[in-house]
Amino acid sequence: MTTTTLSLADWPARGQELFPGVLACAVAATAATFLSQHYGAPVMLFALLLGMAMNFLSAEGPCKPGIEFTSRHVLRWGVALLGLRITVAQVAALGWHPVLLVVLSVTLTIGASMVVARLMGFNILFGLLSGGATAICGASAALALAAALPPHPLKERATLFTVVGISALSTLTMIVYPILARAIALDPHTAGIFLGATIHDVAQVVGAGYSMSRRPATSPLW
């Protein structure tokens, strides 16, 4: 049963099914926020550590449906709402150079991935899948592309490999790239463009930005 096929009569039962997992995620998010405010470290880093510690809840048991619902839907809604805070004026303040950078990097990354996949003997669609996930928005892009690609016996395995790989790399870069940006003394505007253009997943870009500064800036990527 999915949330898209539920009738009104089914919602109370569905809510009871999701409640334990959603509550567990809310507790982890609240704890991460509390620790971040008291110890001055990135909230995303604490959320990651707490999520790793609580990962066993998503494997089986009453919390599994709610955790899956939160990770698939609530997280995406949160990122979308966060994106609504970016105004046209902020984008215009960046100038045309970052826009051109985005267009070129997405095109070149996907194109290079497809060429490399073909040279390594893989299906060219695997290159499209992995390149699109890297160039656009990580795991979300991988799942969206996989749904649009034609059926293939290895599509599910390729999608899983891409999602796991892109999530691991995004998490690593979320921690390392802000340190690198500070080490080479990038200004807020340049650092925002650097993080937004190089980290795969939107959520990790937000986490990296908040680890550098929580103050509003002219760059929406900062």
Give yes or no: residues 140 and 52 share one domain.
no
Q: Are 102 and 197 in contact (CB under 8 A)?
A: yes
- Structural domain contains residue 102: yes
d(CA 130, CA 135) in angstroms, rounded, equals 9
Give yes or no: residues 155 and 74 share one domain.
no
Domain that holds residue 185: 87-222
Domain boundary among 85, 114, 142: 85
**pLDDT computed for residue 115 by the predictor:** 92
pTM score, whole prediction = 0.53
Give yes or no: residues 159 and 201 share one domain.
yes
- Structural domain contains residue 3: no
Give yes or no: residues 120 and 208 share one domain.
yes
Domain boundary among 85, 118, 149: 85
- Structural domain contains residue 4: no
Give yes or no: residues 161 and 69 share one domain.
no
Give yes or no: residues 170 and 78 share one domain.
no
Give yes or no: residues 156 and 215 share one domain.
yes
Give yes or no: residues 159 and 104 share one domain.
yes
Give yes or no: residues 160 and 204 share one domain.
yes
- Structural domain contains residue 153: yes
Domain boundary among 85, 110, 139: 85
How many domains does the chain divide into?
2
DSSP string for residues in 11-48? HHHHHHHHHHHHHHHHHHHHHHHHHHHHH-S-HHHHHH
Q: Are 208 and 173 in contact (CB under 8 A)?
A: yes
Tens digit of each residue's pLDDT, the chain (222 residues): 444 455 566 677 778 888 888 898 899 889 988 887 787 666 666 777 888 788 888 878 888 888 888 877 787 677 666 666 666 666 677 677 777 887 888 899 899 999 998 898 888 888 888 888 888 877 777 777 777 788 777 777 888 888 788 878 888 888 888 888 888 888 887 888 888 888 877 777 877 887 777 655 444 444
Give yes or no: residues 141 and 61 share one domain.
no
